[in-house]
């Protein structure tokens, strides 16, 4: 029996995770598409290289060509801009509608018989738009939302009460957006009403109601450290000034050339990972505590396209994780008889 072909449109965080989960569960062969060159190829290469360790066997490929999704049995669409701080899902409507139009036209062209699952926001509008453009029957186009929203609600309750999420039963109804409605009355932990357990925890009905309202509304105060649309150096500056307490950022020639190249390739939207000594907030391991009056020096940069971020190197740093000052590999050798030594 031929394996199913599953196409993922959008190689961001959700697309990459889905590609890995599909491969691990051997649900079918995966094609991960994204418009950013080398991004989907890098992510799928990472997944495939782990197949021997994770014990799965399947074809996982990355592409920048819609033609490679041809003949897909299932298409999952995650493409679109993510929400920024303070934005609602509906704020993405105009921008993501343009993206969805291109996606829909290509899915109709190359995978006309596929079943389509849409994750892009605002979800309900994107599902309607996709169906209108493609003319696909209603039973072949669906949005993934209700299960996710209910799972989130259950997770918040589990965290608040300190119980296993497996024991929590909670449901959210309505559209995937600000109009969704958590069914608080029927939320329970192994049959015991969640509100009853909250009242017992706080010994205060008013406080319990406030906590439940906060979980139901899911309006956290989380904010990104920097705007995803900012240039790469601005992102580094945000980390250096706000997290490390630096006065500024000094960029050496090698690092500047790499960063300029990545931005020319359209990769400025990627997040930044800082590789530096773990012994100090600065890039100098001798400066302990909370150093003052220093600049973060960028010596180089590299692209981790599979993981989906740009790494900036600070000071003299090795980027291979978990190595001591004297890696054990330096002691491995082959003696005169051809025997490997230094492994133990």
Q: Each residue of 171-187: pLDDT tens digit? A: 988 777 767 788 899 99
What pLDDT shows up at residue 19? 95
Which member of 5, 131, 176, 313 is catalytic?
Answer: 176
pLDDT for residue 266 is more than 80: yes
Has domain 224-344 been given CATH number 3.30.1120.80? no
What rounded mean pLDDT belongs to the chain?
87
Distance CA 140, CA 196 (A): 42
Write down the CATH number for the domain with range 147-217: 3.90.110.10
Q: Give the mean pLDDT of 231-235.
A: 93
What pLDDT shows up at residue 85? 58
pLDDT for residue 118 is more than 70: yes
Domain boundaries defined on the chain: 5-144, 147-217, 224-344
Q: Which of 1-5, 110-114, 126-130 has the highest mean pLDDT?
A: 110-114
Question: pTM score > 0.75 for this model?
Answer: no
pLDDT for residue 220 is more than 60: no
Distance CA 300, CA 87 (A): 34
**Full DSSP string of 182-237:** E-GGG-EETTEEHHHHHHHHHT-HHHHHHHHHHHHHT------SS-TTS-HHHHHH
- 313 in active site: no
Question: For domain 5-144, which CATH number applies: 3.40.50.720, 3.30.300.90, 3.30.460.80, 1.10.510.10?
Answer: 3.40.50.720
């Amino acid at each position: 029996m031929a394996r199913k072909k599953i196409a993922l449109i959008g190689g961001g965080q959700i697309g990459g995770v889905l590609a890995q989960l599909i491969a691990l569960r051997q649900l079918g062969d995966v094609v991960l598409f994204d418009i950013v060159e080398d991004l989907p190829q890098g992510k799928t290469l990472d997944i495939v290289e782990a197949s021997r360790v994770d014990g799965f066997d399947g074809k996982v490929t990355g592409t920048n060509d819609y033609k490679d999704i041809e003949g897909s049995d299932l298409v999952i669409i995650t493409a679109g801009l993510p929400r920024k701080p303070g934005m609602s899902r509906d704020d993405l409507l105009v921008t993501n509608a343009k993206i969805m139009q291109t996606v829909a036209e290509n899915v109709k062209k190359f995978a006309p018989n596929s079943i389509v699952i849409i994750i892009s926001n605002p979800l309900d509008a994107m599902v309607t738009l996709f169906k209108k453009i493609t003319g696909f029957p209603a039973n072949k186009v669906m949005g993934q939302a209700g299960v996710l929203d209910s799972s989130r609600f259950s997770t918040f309750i589990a965290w608040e009460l300190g119980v296993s999420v497996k024991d929590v039963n909670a449901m959210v109804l309505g559209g995937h957006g600000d109009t969704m409605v958590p069914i608080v009355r029927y939320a329970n932990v192994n049959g015991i009403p969640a509100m009853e357990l909250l009242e017992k925890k706080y010994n205060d009905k008013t406080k319990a109601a406030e906590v439940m309202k906060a979980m139901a509304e899911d309006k956290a105060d989380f904010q990104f450290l920097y705007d995803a649309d900012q240039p790469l150096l601005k992102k580094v500056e945000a980390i250096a000034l706000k997290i490390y307490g630096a006065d500024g950022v000094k960029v050496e020639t090698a690092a500047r050339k790499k960063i300029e190249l990545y931005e020319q390739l359209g990769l400025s939207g990627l997040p930044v990972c800082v590789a530096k000594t773990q012994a100090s907030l600065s890039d100098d391991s001798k400066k302990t505590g909370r150093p003052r009056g220093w600049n973060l020096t960028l010596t180089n940069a590299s692209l981790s396209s599979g993981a989906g971020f740009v790494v900036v190197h600070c000071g003299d740093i090795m980027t291979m994780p978990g190595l001591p000052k004297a890696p054990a590999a330096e002691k491995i050798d082959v003696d005169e008889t051809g025997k490997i030594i230094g492994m133990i």
